[in-house]
Structure 1
Protein backbone atom coordinates (compact mmCIF):
# COMPACT_ATOMS: atom_id res chain seq x y z
CA UNK A 1 0.00 0.00 0.00
CA UNK A 2 1.30 3.47 -0.85
CA UNK A 3 2.19 5.85 1.92
CA UNK A 4 0.70 9.34 1.98
CA UNK A 5 4.07 10.71 0.87
CA UNK A 6 4.31 8.26 -2.06
CA UNK A 7 0.72 8.95 -3.12
CA UNK A 8 1.28 12.70 -2.91
CA UNK A 9 4.46 12.36 -4.99
CA UNK A 10 2.61 10.47 -7.74
CA UNK A 11 -0.41 12.80 -7.64
CA UNK A 12 1.70 15.94 -7.72
CA UNK A 13 3.80 14.60 -10.56
CA UNK A 14 1.04 12.68 -12.41
CA UNK A 15 0.78 15.52 -14.87
CA UNK A 16 2.96 16.22 -16.81
CA UNK A 17 4.39 12.72 -16.51
CA UNK A 18 5.23 11.58 -19.99
CA UNK A 19 5.95 8.29 -21.59
CA UNK A 20 9.33 8.14 -23.30
CA UNK A 21 11.70 5.64 -24.84
CA UNK A 22 13.81 3.74 -22.33
CA UNK A 23 17.56 4.38 -22.05
CA UNK A 24 20.52 2.10 -21.29
CA UNK A 25 20.55 3.33 -17.69
CA UNK A 26 16.96 2.09 -17.25
CA UNK A 27 17.77 -1.60 -17.77
CA UNK A 28 18.21 -2.58 -14.08
CA UNK A 29 15.02 -0.75 -13.03
CA UNK A 30 13.05 -2.27 -15.93
CA UNK A 31 14.17 -5.78 -14.98
CA UNK A 32 13.39 -5.18 -11.28
CA UNK A 33 9.94 -3.66 -11.90
CA UNK A 34 8.95 -6.34 -14.40
CA UNK A 35 10.18 -9.24 -12.28
CA UNK A 36 8.45 -7.92 -9.16
CA UNK A 37 5.19 -9.21 -10.71
CA UNK A 38 6.54 -12.47 -12.23
CA UNK A 39 6.08 -14.69 -9.12
CA UNK A 40 2.32 -14.02 -9.26
CA UNK A 41 2.16 -14.77 -13.00
CA UNK A 42 1.32 -11.17 -13.87
CA UNK A 43 4.43 -10.77 -16.04
CA UNK A 44 6.89 -13.20 -17.55
CA UNK A 45 10.35 -13.13 -16.00
CA UNK A 46 12.67 -10.90 -18.03
CA UNK A 47 16.44 -11.15 -17.98
CA UNK A 48 18.77 -8.22 -18.37
CA UNK A 49 19.80 -9.68 -21.74
CA UNK A 50 16.15 -9.68 -22.92
CA UNK A 51 15.67 -6.05 -21.90
CA UNK A 52 18.94 -4.95 -23.50
CA UNK A 53 18.05 -6.70 -26.75
CA UNK A 54 14.57 -5.07 -26.74
CA UNK A 55 15.53 -1.67 -25.32
CA UNK A 56 14.28 0.20 -28.41
CA UNK A 57 10.89 -1.44 -27.82
CA UNK A 58 10.49 -0.25 -24.21
CA UNK A 59 8.54 2.84 -23.18
CA UNK A 60 8.79 4.12 -19.60
CA UNK A 61 7.25 6.68 -17.25
CA UNK A 62 9.40 8.34 -14.58
CA UNK A 63 8.49 10.22 -11.45
CA UNK A 64 9.72 13.72 -10.70
CA UNK A 65 12.72 12.12 -8.97
CA UNK A 66 13.61 10.14 -12.12
CA UNK A 67 12.52 6.81 -10.58
CA UNK A 68 10.83 4.40 -12.98
CA UNK A 69 7.09 4.31 -12.27
CA UNK A 70 5.95 2.17 -15.17
CA UNK A 71 6.94 0.44 -18.38
CA UNK A 72 5.68 -1.41 -21.43
CA UNK A 73 7.34 -3.01 -24.43
CA UNK A 74 6.58 -4.41 -27.85
CA UNK A 75 7.77 -7.88 -28.79
CA UNK A 76 7.79 -8.59 -32.52
CA UNK A 77 7.03 -12.07 -33.85
CA UNK A 78 7.04 -11.07 -37.51
CA UNK A 79 6.69 -7.86 -39.54
CA UNK A 80 2.91 -8.28 -39.20
CA UNK A 81 2.59 -9.53 -35.62
CA UNK A 82 3.53 -7.77 -32.39
CA UNK A 83 2.66 -8.32 -28.74
CA UNK A 84 2.37 -5.77 -25.94
CA UNK A 85 4.53 -7.18 -23.12
CA UNK A 86 6.07 -6.22 -19.78
CA UNK A 87 3.29 -3.82 -18.81
CA UNK A 88 4.07 -2.98 -15.20
CA UNK A 89 3.34 -0.04 -12.91
CA UNK A 90 5.08 0.33 -9.55
CA UNK A 91 2.71 -0.52 -6.69
CA UNK A 92 2.94 2.99 -5.22
CA UNK A 93 2.01 4.52 -8.61
CA UNK A 94 -0.98 2.31 -9.45
CA UNK A 95 -4.45 3.78 -9.75
CA UNK A 96 -3.34 6.99 -11.46
CA UNK A 97 -3.87 6.06 -15.12
CA UNK A 98 -0.26 5.15 -15.89
CA UNK A 99 -1.23 1.73 -17.29
CA UNK A 100 -3.58 3.40 -19.76
CA UNK A 101 -0.93 5.90 -20.80
CA UNK A 102 1.61 3.11 -21.32
CA UNK A 103 -0.82 1.06 -23.42
CA UNK A 104 -1.55 4.14 -25.54
CA UNK A 105 2.20 4.67 -26.03
CA UNK A 106 2.67 1.03 -27.06
CA UNK A 107 -0.20 1.34 -29.56
CA UNK A 108 1.33 4.49 -31.01
CA UNK A 109 4.74 2.87 -31.38
CA UNK A 110 3.16 -0.20 -33.02
CA UNK A 111 1.26 2.04 -35.46
CA UNK A 112 4.42 4.03 -36.26
CA UNK A 113 6.11 0.73 -37.09
CA UNK A 114 3.23 -0.29 -39.34
CA UNK A 115 1.80 -3.25 -37.41
CA UNK A 116 -1.84 -3.98 -38.36
CA UNK A 117 -2.73 -5.43 -34.95
CA UNK A 118 -1.49 -5.50 -31.38
CA UNK A 119 -2.20 -8.35 -28.99
CA UNK A 120 -1.60 -8.92 -25.30
CA UNK A 121 -1.91 -11.74 -22.80
CA UNK A 122 -2.98 -10.37 -19.44
CA UNK A 123 -5.14 -10.82 -16.37
CA UNK A 124 -6.09 -7.10 -16.54
CA UNK A 125 -9.33 -7.66 -18.43
CA UNK A 126 -11.09 -4.39 -17.46
CA UNK A 127 -8.06 -2.29 -18.40
CA UNK A 128 -7.63 -3.76 -21.87
CA UNK A 129 -11.35 -3.69 -22.63
CA UNK A 130 -11.49 -0.05 -21.51
CA UNK A 131 -8.60 0.68 -23.90
CA UNK A 132 -10.56 -0.60 -26.91
CA UNK A 133 -9.11 -4.10 -27.12
CA UNK A 134 -11.45 -7.02 -27.67
CA UNK A 135 -11.17 -10.43 -26.11
CA UNK A 136 -9.54 -12.89 -28.47
CA UNK A 137 -7.95 -16.31 -28.13
CA UNK A 138 -4.35 -17.37 -27.86
CA UNK A 139 -5.13 -19.99 -30.50
CA UNK A 140 -4.95 -17.14 -33.06
CA UNK A 141 -1.28 -16.73 -32.16
CA UNK A 142 0.56 -20.05 -32.50
CA UNK A 143 3.83 -18.09 -32.29
CA UNK A 144 2.91 -17.09 -28.73
CA UNK A 145 2.03 -20.65 -27.79
CA UNK A 146 5.42 -21.78 -29.11
CA UNK A 147 7.19 -19.13 -27.00
CA UNK A 148 5.26 -20.13 -23.90
CA UNK A 149 6.29 -23.73 -24.45
CA UNK A 150 9.92 -22.67 -24.88
CA UNK A 151 9.84 -20.61 -21.66
CA UNK A 152 7.68 -22.82 -19.46
CA UNK A 153 4.84 -25.18 -20.20
CA UNK A 154 3.18 -23.95 -17.01
CA UNK A 155 2.54 -20.56 -18.65
CA UNK A 156 -0.15 -22.23 -20.74
CA UNK A 157 -1.90 -23.61 -17.68
CA UNK A 158 -1.62 -20.90 -15.00
CA UNK A 159 -5.19 -19.85 -14.31
CA UNK A 160 -7.21 -18.15 -17.01
CA UNK A 161 -5.11 -15.69 -18.91
CA UNK A 162 -7.01 -13.38 -21.20
CA UNK A 163 -5.93 -12.70 -24.74
CA UNK A 164 -6.75 -9.27 -26.12
CA UNK A 165 -6.32 -7.86 -29.60
CA UNK A 166 -6.76 -4.48 -31.22
CA UNK A 167 -6.71 -3.56 -34.89
CA UNK A 168 -4.45 -0.57 -35.48
CA UNK A 169 -4.90 2.24 -37.96
CA UNK A 170 -1.56 2.92 -39.60
CA UNK A 171 -0.22 6.42 -39.71
CA UNK A 172 -0.46 7.87 -43.22
CA UNK A 173 2.84 7.97 -45.04
CA UNK A 174 4.03 11.02 -46.90
CA UNK A 175 3.92 10.26 -50.50
Structure 2
Protein backbone atom coordinates (compact mmCIF):
# COMPACT_ATOMS: atom_id res chain seq x y z
CA UNK A 1 0.00 0.00 0.00
CA UNK A 2 1.14 3.51 -0.67
CA UNK A 3 1.61 5.99 2.18
CA UNK A 4 -1.31 7.91 0.79
CA UNK A 5 -3.76 5.06 1.37
CA UNK A 6 -2.50 4.17 4.84
CA UNK A 7 -2.19 7.67 6.28
CA UNK A 8 -4.90 8.90 8.61
CA UNK A 9 -5.70 12.47 9.45
CA UNK A 10 -3.96 13.57 12.67
CA UNK A 11 -7.26 14.30 14.37
CA UNK A 12 -8.94 10.96 13.63
CA UNK A 13 -8.12 7.61 15.14
CA UNK A 14 -10.11 4.42 15.65
CA UNK A 15 -10.51 5.07 19.38
CA UNK A 16 -12.00 8.58 18.99
CA UNK A 17 -12.35 11.43 16.54
CA UNK A 18 -12.17 15.18 16.95
CA UNK A 19 -14.76 17.33 15.20
CA UNK A 20 -16.70 20.58 15.59
CA UNK A 21 -19.62 20.34 18.00
CA UNK A 22 -23.12 20.45 16.58
CA UNK A 23 -25.64 23.07 17.68
CA UNK A 24 -27.83 20.40 19.34
CA UNK A 25 -25.00 19.07 21.54
CA UNK A 26 -25.27 21.75 24.23
CA UNK A 27 -26.73 19.31 26.79
CA UNK A 28 -23.89 16.82 26.18
CA UNK A 29 -21.28 19.58 26.52
CA UNK A 30 -22.85 20.64 29.83
CA UNK A 31 -22.97 17.05 31.09
CA UNK A 32 -19.34 16.43 30.12
CA UNK A 33 -18.31 19.61 31.97
CA UNK A 34 -20.32 18.95 35.15
CA UNK A 35 -17.72 16.76 36.98
CA UNK A 36 -15.07 19.43 36.36
CA UNK A 37 -17.38 22.13 37.72
CA UNK A 38 -18.03 20.03 40.85
CA UNK A 39 -14.28 19.56 41.31
CA UNK A 40 -13.69 23.31 40.96
CA UNK A 41 -11.63 23.00 37.78
CA UNK A 42 -14.23 24.78 35.62
CA UNK A 43 -16.57 27.67 36.23
CA UNK A 44 -20.23 26.78 36.19
CA UNK A 45 -21.91 27.83 32.98
CA UNK A 46 -25.63 27.72 32.25
CA UNK A 47 -27.01 25.29 29.70
CA UNK A 48 -28.05 28.31 27.63
CA UNK A 49 -24.36 29.16 27.11
CA UNK A 50 -23.58 25.68 25.81
CA UNK A 51 -26.61 25.87 23.53
CA UNK A 52 -25.78 29.32 22.18
CA UNK A 53 -22.03 28.73 21.82
CA UNK A 54 -21.91 25.11 20.70
CA UNK A 55 -20.20 26.30 17.51
CA UNK A 56 -17.22 27.45 19.65
CA UNK A 57 -16.49 23.86 20.65
CA UNK A 58 -14.43 21.04 19.30
CA UNK A 59 -15.38 17.65 20.69
CA UNK A 60 -13.71 14.27 21.01
CA UNK A 61 -16.20 11.55 20.19
CA UNK A 62 -15.93 7.85 20.98
CA UNK A 63 -16.93 5.32 18.28
CA UNK A 64 -20.30 4.85 20.02
CA UNK A 65 -21.05 8.58 19.65
CA UNK A 66 -20.37 9.53 23.28
CA UNK A 67 -18.66 12.89 23.76
CA UNK A 68 -15.58 12.33 25.93
CA UNK A 69 -13.77 15.65 25.59
CA UNK A 70 -14.39 19.24 24.59
CA UNK A 71 -12.63 22.55 24.18
CA UNK A 72 -14.15 25.92 23.40
CA UNK A 73 -12.45 28.53 21.21
CA UNK A 74 -13.97 32.00 21.45
CA UNK A 75 -12.80 34.51 18.86
CA UNK A 76 -11.83 38.07 19.71
CA UNK A 77 -10.07 40.59 17.42
CA UNK A 78 -6.75 38.95 16.41
CA UNK A 79 -6.84 36.60 19.40
CA UNK A 80 -8.69 33.57 20.61
CA UNK A 81 -9.55 32.32 24.07
CA UNK A 82 -9.60 28.62 24.87
CA UNK A 83 -12.11 27.71 27.55
CA UNK A 84 -14.05 24.86 29.10
CA UNK A 85 -11.33 22.30 28.31
CA UNK A 86 -12.26 18.91 29.69
CA UNK A 87 -11.55 15.27 29.00
CA UNK A 88 -13.48 12.45 30.66
CA UNK A 89 -11.52 10.84 33.48
CA UNK A 90 -11.16 7.47 31.76
CA UNK A 91 -9.68 9.22 28.69
CA UNK A 92 -7.12 11.35 30.50
CA UNK A 93 -3.58 10.40 29.59
CA UNK A 94 -4.62 8.92 26.22
CA UNK A 95 -3.66 11.92 24.08
CA UNK A 96 -7.23 13.13 23.73
CA UNK A 97 -6.49 16.51 25.33
CA UNK A 98 -3.45 17.05 23.13
CA UNK A 99 -5.45 16.23 20.00
CA UNK A 100 -8.21 18.64 21.02
CA UNK A 101 -5.59 21.32 21.61
CA UNK A 102 -3.91 20.71 18.23
CA UNK A 103 -7.30 20.88 16.51
CA UNK A 104 -7.96 24.21 18.27
CA UNK A 105 -4.61 25.52 16.97
CA UNK A 106 -5.62 24.55 13.43
CA UNK A 107 -9.05 26.16 13.81
CA UNK A 108 -7.51 29.37 15.21
CA UNK A 109 -4.96 29.56 12.38
CA UNK A 110 -7.76 29.03 9.87
CA UNK A 111 -9.50 32.06 11.38
CA UNK A 112 -6.24 34.09 11.14
CA UNK A 113 -5.94 34.47 14.90
CA UNK A 114 -2.42 35.36 15.98
CA UNK A 115 -2.53 34.54 19.70
CA UNK A 116 -4.40 32.17 21.98
CA UNK A 117 -5.13 32.80 25.65
CA UNK A 118 -6.47 30.56 28.37
CA UNK A 119 -6.85 30.60 32.15
CA UNK A 120 -6.20 27.64 34.39
CA UNK A 121 -6.49 26.91 38.08
CA UNK A 122 -4.51 23.70 37.65
CA UNK A 123 -0.91 23.08 36.72
CA UNK A 124 -1.46 24.00 33.08
CA UNK A 125 1.00 21.27 32.15
CA UNK A 126 -0.60 20.38 28.84
CA UNK A 127 -0.75 24.03 27.80
CA UNK A 128 2.87 24.61 28.84
CA UNK A 129 4.03 21.53 26.90
CA UNK A 130 2.31 22.97 23.83
CA UNK A 131 4.01 26.36 23.88
CA UNK A 132 1.87 28.41 26.24
CA UNK A 133 3.57 30.64 28.78
CA UNK A 134 2.30 32.71 31.72
CA UNK A 135 1.24 36.21 30.73
CA UNK A 136 -0.42 39.21 32.31
CA UNK A 137 -4.22 39.35 31.94
CA UNK A 138 -3.96 42.91 30.58
CA UNK A 139 -2.50 41.46 27.37
CA UNK A 140 -5.59 39.29 26.80
CA UNK A 141 -8.85 40.38 25.19
CA UNK A 142 -10.33 42.97 27.57
CA UNK A 143 -13.85 41.54 27.86
CA UNK A 144 -12.51 38.07 28.62
CA UNK A 145 -9.89 39.29 31.11
CA UNK A 146 -12.58 41.27 32.96
CA UNK A 147 -14.76 38.15 33.17
CA UNK A 148 -12.13 36.18 35.12
CA UNK A 149 -13.11 35.52 38.72
CA UNK A 150 -10.26 36.82 40.91
CA UNK A 151 -11.34 34.43 43.67
CA UNK A 152 -10.34 31.44 41.52
CA UNK A 153 -6.66 32.53 41.34
CA UNK A 154 -6.41 31.38 37.73
CA UNK A 155 -3.16 31.81 35.84
CA UNK A 156 -3.47 33.39 32.40
CA UNK A 157 -1.40 31.71 29.70
CA UNK A 158 -0.82 32.69 26.08
CA UNK A 159 0.71 31.27 22.93
CA UNK A 160 1.54 32.90 19.64
CA UNK A 161 0.37 31.03 16.55
TM-score of the pair, normalised by structure 1: 0.76
Q: How far is the alpha carbon of 1:143 from its aligned partner?
A: 2.6
Q: How far is the alpha carbon of 1:166 from its aligned partner?
A: 0.8
Matches within 5 A, 1:1-175: 15-16=13-14, 17-76=16-75, 78-122=76-120, 123-141=122-140, 142-148=142-148, 155-158=149-152, 160-168=153-161
- Give the superposed CA RMSD: 1.8
Structure 1 gap ranges (5+): 1-13, 149-154, 169-175
For residues 137 and 82 of structure 1, what CA distance do their matches in structure 2 show? 15
How many positions carry a matched residue from both structures? Answer: 147
For residues 13 and 80 of structure 2, what CA distance do their matches in structure 1 show? 29
Residue 88 of structure 1 aligns to a residue in which SS?
strand
The 8 Å contact of residues 19 and 58 in structure 2, kept in 1 or not, is answered as: yes
The 8 Å contact of residues 27 and 47 in structure 2, kept in 1 or not, is answered as: yes
Structure 2 gap ranges (5+): 1-11
Q: Which runs of 4+ in 1 moved over 4 A?
A: none
For residues 137 and 42 of structure 1, what CA distance do their matches in structure 2 show? 20
Residue 37 of structure 1 aligns to a residue in which SS?
helix
TM-score of the pair, normalised by structure 2: 0.82
For residues 139 and 41 of structure 1, what CA distance do their matches in structure 2 show? 24
